[in-house]
Structure 1
Amino acid sequence: MRKIRLQLIVMMLLLCGAAGMMAGFAGTTERNGEEAVPQTAEASVWKGTANGASEAGTTAESNLELLAALGQEHMDPSALLTVKIQGEMINSISKDQAKTAAEELARAMGLSGITSNELQGNDVFQAEGDRSGVSVNLDWALTKQGHSYVRVMLVGEAAAQAREMVSLQQHVQERMEQAGIPNTWNASIQGYATKSGGVDGTMAQVEEAVARKLPLRSVEDYADVTTISRSYEAPLLGAFVKSGDTPIHMQIAVHEDSVKKSSRITIGFPVITIEY
């Protein structure tokens, strides 16, 4: 499976160090043991629509609802939905301006108590909180050159909080756009399979279920003794990354957990950015 790097790789590395979330910000897919899967092709994040935040929000809403539906069909009720929204501020600003902007964005999301840190000479502003049971984390990194890289991460139980997360994602994207931060997003759902079928059987069940909902074509795959991961072209999903010349809209991974004796399923749009 080839390496997929998201467009804002600098932001991801900066915020990864600040927040300790290597999978999300490195822009690479991961498997068990927190080990990055070797990949070679680079990719840029593209928006699935070209007519502004409204259409992007509509696409995101339907995609999150699809992820939640797949989770309900194949995963236990504790399955977690993770949404990451990231972007780069167009204008260069000072440290004080960045802190003020981070505080305003945090307040708009119902967060308070911005903390300031320094990472490799770059300033990082962070806030975290809870919105109706959904964990919300804001990371704002300011480089020495005055460039701002922003990420908001939402995590909640798919079965109970998917609707709240859809609303929050749209709200965050709108607020970031208003603050002069064009943004892209990715989402993943992860949970243990409700049916026993081994890695191969579970992957086949999930692929069959997805194929009933939208056309897809497998374009990349990775496998070892306990893990299968496949990436797909599925244009109806809208948002995608490009691996070489190939658009990737979705990734599915199944890992056999030797401790729980069960298969852990992870589905990502357009790719998985959490450990699987």
Structure 2
Amino acid sequence: MQNRKLWKIGLLILICAMLLVGLQRLKETGREAIAPGPIDAAEQQLAALYSMGQAVTPDPFQLTLKWQGEWSSLLAPEEAAGVLASRLGLPVPEAGTVQGRVVYEAKGQIEGFPAELELTTLEEGKHYAMLRMEAVGDEAAALERLQEAQRMAGESLADEGVQAEWNAAVQGVAWPAAAAVGKTASGKRKLDVTFDKLETKINQLPKLKLKQAEEFADELTASRTYSVDALPIAVQSGGHRVALQLAVHRNSGTGMDEITIGTPLLTVEY
């Protein structure tokens, strides 16, 4: 009798354990099913970046986005560049030299936005393509048009086999600086005060909670890198999964704080 009771208890424990394992696998499958693909993720991240630009600067801001990555192709460099340019609706590329490498470049517009394609050969059968697009952020309609242009460009590159990754940045100016350098009465650097205001404005946006991972600062410039759970495109940096980098440069000549926001990391000058 006692053995039968112990056997029933053991069977019940086994069933509970199997149910827990099944539920965990179901959750993991669900997460995988709803994870956005590269094109959708870039569209989502662009919308978040756009909202940050609107939150931190009162003036229209400059927005730059890139699709870039390696492309395995047996086409000759000139022909390869021509294929990509044609697919993107850009003019015939022209050859130039950058740091001793031949670079094919095509400049034009994609859906009304300035666009620049560059293609460099890394080795025989392997090229590196970079598509750069620019826009001025001033209204919601501009974001929708830019998202459509970005999607078209990303899908076109992917269809040709380019292993393109996405990144983007916003550049603008915020509130005037009362002083170029120095500290507040409490001893805090004025540049850090500006940065704290910037973080507060972004943290007030829906779902965008910044978790600082790294930082750098000198007399007139500061940069901080963050993990942001709501942003799907991220990279590993210093043992952290980061998706956003902010930089503030205090222009002592104009008395303005110049702000740059990059995702997942900054790839433009600041």
Q: Same fold (TM over 0.5)?
A: yes
Tell me, in whole angstroms, the C-alpha distance in 2 between the residues paired with 1:76 and 1:257: 17
AA at the equivalent of 2:162: I
| Rounded Cα–Cα distance in structure 2 between residues aligned with 1:275 and 1:67 | 17
Question: Which secondary structure does the structure 2 equivalent of 1:112 belong to?
Answer: coil
Q: Are residues 194 and 108 of structure 1, via their aligned partners in 2, closer, same or farther at CA, if it must alter by over 3 Å?
A: farther
Distance 1:54 1:216 in 2: 21
Residue 207 of structure 1 corresponds to 199
- Counterpart of 2:125 in 1: which secondary structure? coil
CA–CA distance in structure 1, aligned partners of residues 258 and 101 of structure 2? 37
**What letter corresponds to residue 196 of structure 2 in structure 1?**
A
The normalised TM-score by structure 1 is 0.73
Aligned counterparts of 1:67 and 1:144: Cα–Cα separation in 2: 35
Q: Is the aligned partner of 1:268 residue 2:262? A: yes
Which residue of structure 2 lines up, in the alignment, with residue 257 of structure 1?
Answer: 251
Deviates most, 82-91 or 117-126: 117-126
1:238 paired with 2:232, answer: yes
1:182 corresponds in structure 2 to 163
Give the corresponding residue for 1:162. 143
Whether 1:106 and 2:85 are equivalent positions in the alignment is yes
Match in the other structure for 2:218: 224
8 Å CA contact 2:171, 2:261 repeated in 1: yes
Partners of 2:200 and 2:218 lie apart in 1 by 21
Aligned twin of 1:65: 47
2:69 matches 1:87: yes
Change (3 A) 1:138 1:248: same
Matched residue pairs, number? 225
The unaligned stretches of length 5 or more in structure 2 are 1-30, 179-189
1:179 CA drift (Å): 0.6
> Counterpart of 1:248?
242
Could you tell me how far 1:131 is from its partner in structure 2?
3.8
Q: What do residues 158-190 of structure 1 show as CA deviations (whole Å, max 9, x unaligned)?
A: 225333222221111111111111110111001
Aligned: 1:150 with 2:124: no
1:240 Cα shift?
A: 1.2
Deviation readout 1:204-230 (Å, 9 max, x if unpaired): 122112223322210100111111110
Counterpart CA distance in 1 for 2:32 and 2:96 is 36
In structure 1, what is the Cα distance between the partners aligned to 2:92 and 2:72?
Answer: 25
- 2:177 touches 2:250 (CA, 8 Å); kept in 1? no
- Counterparts of 2:196 and 2:225 in 1: how far apart (Å)? 14
Identity of aligned residues (%): 29
Which shows bigger deviation, 128-137 or 180-189?
A: 128-137
Cα root mean square deviation, aligned? 2.5
Bigger-Rg structure (1/2) = 2
